[in-house]
Structure 1
Amino acid sequence: MSGLRILLIDEDPERAALLDETLRAQGYELVARLPPDELSAKRVNEIGPDIILVDMGSPSRDTIESMRQINEEQPRPVVMFVDQSDDSMVAEAVQAGVSAYIIDGLNVKRVKPILDVAIARFREFQALRDELKKTKATLAERKLIERAKGLLMRERGLNESEAYAALRRLAMDRQQRLADVAEALLAFADVLKNK
């Protein structure tokens, strides 16, 4: 996992310098160091890190909200080291997409294993998120196809297999996906209905 590009968010310049030195010694590339108030999705996009490491005394709601926005726009592993916290802040951080939330501050000896675990958890979560997105899209496409079949059955007096065959034939003739043809057919039917 060495060679990763890390964005360090730290409010303490001395602590950040020590962490910078530790990260470089372990083979990581520190691409930028920002104070928490400069953290934003736009800055993360400009910097393009592989992972975000946050080291602060106590997380602020603004920092957590920035993490949430980053996770929505350009997800990446986030490791947060804090000196003190409470249960509600931990829950908010996890909901915002923080991959690892470590209380009692940063111990330089633990950095590498924590980063490795956070990256692995992030990848696993992203795979689940991608699978869910794919499943939702497939279900939405099936619903469109079913609605289009129902329309053809009602308007043309076809049975279910005839309606499906008609949709498939139209999709092949137009060299389009079945779901796209179904969507166009339903949109056209809506236009005719509203005239």
Structure 2
Amino acid sequence: MDNTNALRALLIGVESDGAKDLFQLLESLGMVLIPRSASEGSLYSLIESLQPDLIFVDANSPARDTLEHAVSAHQDLPQPVVSADGDLQISLRRLAGDIGISLYAGDGVTPALLQALIDLTISHCHSIEVLRREVALAMMAQPRDVAVH
């Protein structure tokens, strides 16, 4: 696969199992993922050298506050994704609140692509959680004295 036109996404401190599943999905769709620890050097230098199209950061990480400061001082860096128009704003609140991820995007990422990525992220994480609950319930309901072959 030719990744010269692929979106590059920097992942900062996003390490939950649900996030790992999601990022495997995004990678399978052709996105280039660049995982980094939240404590890995200067965020500004990291972002400037990697030049990602998107940044996913743990919403509860101190790195998110540092990132907010860096991008507010440098308008050429990916900016927080905010929108006052309808569905995207609701989706962003769900992304941050339900999944614990804040999203930043560069100028080249269209609103339609952002909406699709956010919807995919929410849908995927919701589906994984539903499956985990179903498996847990099925395991609780399984009789213990019956051998499984």
Higher relative contact order (CA 8 A, sep 6+): 2
Q: Which has the larger radius of gyration?
A: 1
Q: TM-score under structure 1 normalisation?
A: 0.37
